Amino acid sequence: MNKKIKIGLIGLGTVGGGVFKCLQQYENIEIVKIAVHNKNKKRNIDNLDESIITDNPYEVVNNPEIQIVAELIGGTEPAYDLIKTAMINGKHIVTANKELLAKHGEELFKIAQENNKVILYEAAIAGGIPLIMPIKTILAGNKISKIKAILNGTTNYILTKMDVLGASYNDVLREAQDLGYAETNPTGDVEGFDAAYKITTLATIAFGKRIKFENVYREGITQIRPEDMKAANEMGYKIKLIASAEMDENNHADVRVHPMLVPKTKTLAHIDYVTNAVTLTGHPVGEITLSGPGAGEFPTASSVLGDILAIVSELDNENILPMMKCKHDENAVMTNILDTKNKYYLSITANNKTGVIAKLGKACEINNISLASIVQKEIAKDECAEITVITELCKEQDMRNVIEYLKADESIVNVNSLIRVQL
């Protein structure tokens, strides 16, 4: 403990700044070099030695003093090459980069194995919520079969505000952008990419088989309407963007991200605003839920710091943190979304004509779909009615056939929404 551990940081933004501040309390750790995009940017960080700042990240990964590199910039390039170079140069890695792990985790973990290095990434999945270390250690004796999670604070904030205020998606998005909860270009969040990156890595770890990101089904929240929120509430549900992963009895993985009607009896229905939560189902533990802040300076820094300290405590060992290393190289057999079975919420607007509900029933009948409930609201001034349906369990392909059937019917003005229902 008398010899200082040398650390290098790549990135000094929100998370990097939080990590720097937290590391100041450890006398046995020295930050040797910090790479930033703009050296001249003003930073509200006390005790920051400007002499260790560089705008060349290769000064971090090629520095022979540095033993641990924390990569906190995100994206795939130059992060991939930087981490690869660092490991070849004998450095352990801590990262918060969910996109990089989802797209290139297989290659990076192979390089880590070849160089007897470790990559820790607790901060990449759910900010300050401990997930990876518990799954690899405390829950290691469990066969995890199901994950249901809220992994994106921006979309959860937007959906919560839509629910509470009865407001439109566009109005709440503008507010979220003004408050800093949503980016100027929110595509990565609202179209489900961020959550898809995270569930890809989380499912890989939980199931012990590699999940290919390109095989993860994804839908965003941009088509959710205030009317859907109201209807869901009336039927005992909340609408959430759910990252889902399940392993069936044939060891086929169904991994996806899309909005769901979550029953109010479920914990995830009550996870609001920017909070994240993950429900794991396994044997013998049963069902457990971990929740907390999924982003932010100090919550995310907490996970990065924990990973750094775990490595620091093991640096003298020849085989460092063996439980945390990647031990699987088999790709999971993925289930196509068209072959999955789900319950569905369907909303259509139809002309107020005799036989419309009969047509809807017929469309479902010829596609082997039973209806659990059907509600028609009062007729609007335009002589159109909104009809809301909840189906029984049915095949995705059959449901899509119903949608095409309805779109071709002249008495159906619009198919408003199709949202899956969490079982």
Q: Which residues are catalytic?
A: 198
What single letter denotes the amino acid at residue 117? K
- Coil, strand or helix at 106: helix
Name residue, tokens 């004796």.
141
Of 199, 216, 197, 211, nearest to 148 (Cα)? 199
- What 8-state DSSP symbol labels residue 73? S
| Residue 240, CA atoms < 13 Å, CB-side half-sphere | 30
Distance CA 31, CA 36 (A): 14
Sequential DSSP letters for 220-269: -STT--HHHHHHHHHTTEEEEEEEEEEE-TT-EEEEEEEEEEEETTSGGG
Name residue, tokens 């002589």.
383
* Distinct helix (H) and strand (E) counts, the chain: 14, 18
Sequential DSSP letters for 381-394: TTSEEEEEEEE-SE
Sequential DSSP letters for 281-314: EEETTEEEEEEEE-SSHHHHHHHHHHHHHHHHTT
Residue 192 region by backbone torsions, left for phi larger than 0, else alpha for psi between -120 and 50, else beta: left
Distance CA 245, CA 370 (A): 25
Phi/psi of residue 54, nearest 5 degrees: -140, 155
Residue 325 token pair? 């290393």
- What 8-state DSSP symbol labels residue 71? E
Residue 362 region by backbone torsions, left for phi larger than 0, else alpha for psi between -120 and 50, else beta: alpha
User: Is 195 in contact with 230 (CB distance < 8 Å)?
Assistant: no
- Coil, strand or helix at 174: helix
Task: Name 404's Cβ contacts closer than 8 Å, sequence gap at least 6.
Answer: none
What single letter denotes the amino acid at residue 302? S
Distance CA 173, CA 250 (A): 41
